[in-house]
């Protein structure tokens, strides 16, 4: 029996812009099981970024319920959301979001500081995940000494370091060239093959086709939710342990 990791029930999110009420999400219900690889797509204004922020515990819905790995998070305080983000979610962003003065190792160790690990534990675990993404020879390099693909690999390692319940990737290939994008998607395929749950937010059809399920949003509603019958399987370039 498949085990649910995300359960959203009638999520709605409204913003007030001046005197106008913007309904970013109207009534979104979905379930994602452990180990799934899901792409969320939609044009600008579809609500995909709002849904991503709620799934990533960066925001709370105006109404509706969101259960993440058995915990109701819809009405949590900011501090509670920060704690569950650190424990349950690994983020990969389009712009990498690496600290420029920190080495790759120090960037990857950072989430473990907030999680309360000691220095020895942080170094050991960060070294392991950087090795897993084939960056063991770049651990002491700073972001400006790395290529775009290498920086995104550091970001992926940082996302994995706390062994989160889900990896949430927001346009992870948006700043990369075509060849590097394929390399990064091969890395995600390897991560998924090890049993990790991946949620990929993208506007690119060819990137979404790497996922096994595609959810399309329009006007704050789910337009379609289908299994992908034409999965793009990139050639693995990294063997994750």
Alpha-carbon gap, residue 208 to 185, rounded angstroms: 10
Mean pLDDT of 57-78: 91
Structure tokens at 171: 């346009």
Paired tokens of 227: 């299994």
User: What number is the average pLDDT over the span 167-196?
Assistant: 91
Domains recognised in the chain with CATH numbers: 35-62+78-227 (3.40.50.300)
Average pLDDT score over residue span 83-109: 93
Query: Of 155, 137, 171, which is closest to residue 98 (Cα–Cα)?
Result: 155
Residues whose CB is less than 8 angstroms from the CB of residue 21 and which lie 6 or more positions away in sequence, other chains included: 14, 15
Q: In DSSP terms, which residues pair with 40 in a beta bridge?
A: 201, 215
Q: Give the per-residue pLDDT at 65.
A: 95
Is residue 235's pLDDT more than 80? no
């Amino acid at each position: 029996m498949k085990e649910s990791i995300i359960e959203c029930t009638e999520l709605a999110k409204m913003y007030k812009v001046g005197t106008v009420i913007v309904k970013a999400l109207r009534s979104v219900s979905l379930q994602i099981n452990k180990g799934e690889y899901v792409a969320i797509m939609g044009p600008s204004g579809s609500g995909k970024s709002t849904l991503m922020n709620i799934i990533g515990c960066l925001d709370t819905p105006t109404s509706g319920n969101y259960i993440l790995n058995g915990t109701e998070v819809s009405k949590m305080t900011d501090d509670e959301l920060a704690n569950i983000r650190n424990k349950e979610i690994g983020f990969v962003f389009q712009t990498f979001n690496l600290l420029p003065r920190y080495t790759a190792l120090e960037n990857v160790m950072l989430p473990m500081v907030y999680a309360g690990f000691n220095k020895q534990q942080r170094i050991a675990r960060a070294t392991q995940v950087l090795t897993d993404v084939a960056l063991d020879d770049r651990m002491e390099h700073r972001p400006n000494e790395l290529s775009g693909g290498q920086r995104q690999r550091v970001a992926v390692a940082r996302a994995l370091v706390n062994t989160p319940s889900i990896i949430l990737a927001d346009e992870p290939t948006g700043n990369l060239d075509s060849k590097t994008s394929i390399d990064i998607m091969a890395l995600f395929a390897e991560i998924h093959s090890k049993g990790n749950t991946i949620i990929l937010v993208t506007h690119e059809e060819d990137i979404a086709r790497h996922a096994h399920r595609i959810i399309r949003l329009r006007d704050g509603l789910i337009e379609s939710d289908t299994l992908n019958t034409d999965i793009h399987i990139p050639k693995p370039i990294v063997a994750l342990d």
